[in-house]
Amino acid sequence: MKRYDFLGTEELDYICDFCGKKHISKCFVVFDNETGETLRFGSSCIVKALSITMSEVKAMASEKIKQIRQEYSAKIFELSEESNAIMQAYRKANNFPIGFLPESETRYYELNTEEQRLSGEMYEKIGALQW
């Protein structure tokens, strides 16, 4: 198990947990798996504190982005498949080759809403990992 998990970046006014510098505008947030602490470092301190290079920080971020995409893509695909099946069944039953479902088909709209919510949540999480 890795000691540190990269959680993302934050653009809030923080104090660096390594050097104590105040008002760092962009901090790198990591979770220490050994101590259970969430730590925030400035861009120059993260490499010193974790004894890694900035390339390794970027690799940690890329790995986390990949995990998020895999996690959310599976959920989004599942919702999409279910909503497509509802649409196809409705079209077949009503002899509509194309068209929209009536508002009475609430499950279809609930699935689409949840799919959009998850997509937005995924991109928000990914955005926090990019700089």
Q: Would you give per-residue pLDDT tens digits along the chain (131 residues)?
A: 678 888 888 877 778 888 888 888 778 888 888 999 999 988 888 888 888 888 988 888 888 899 999 999 999 999 999 998 888 888 888 777 666 666 667 888 899 999 999 999 999 989 888 76
CA distance 40 to 26: 9
How many CA atoms does the CB half-sphere of 54 hold within 13 Å? Answer: 5
Q: Render pLDDT for 10-29 as a digit per residue (tens, 0 to 9).
A: 877 778 888 888 888 778 88
Q: What is the pLDDT of residue 129?
A: 82
Q: Per the confidence metrics, is the pTM higher than 0.85?
A: no
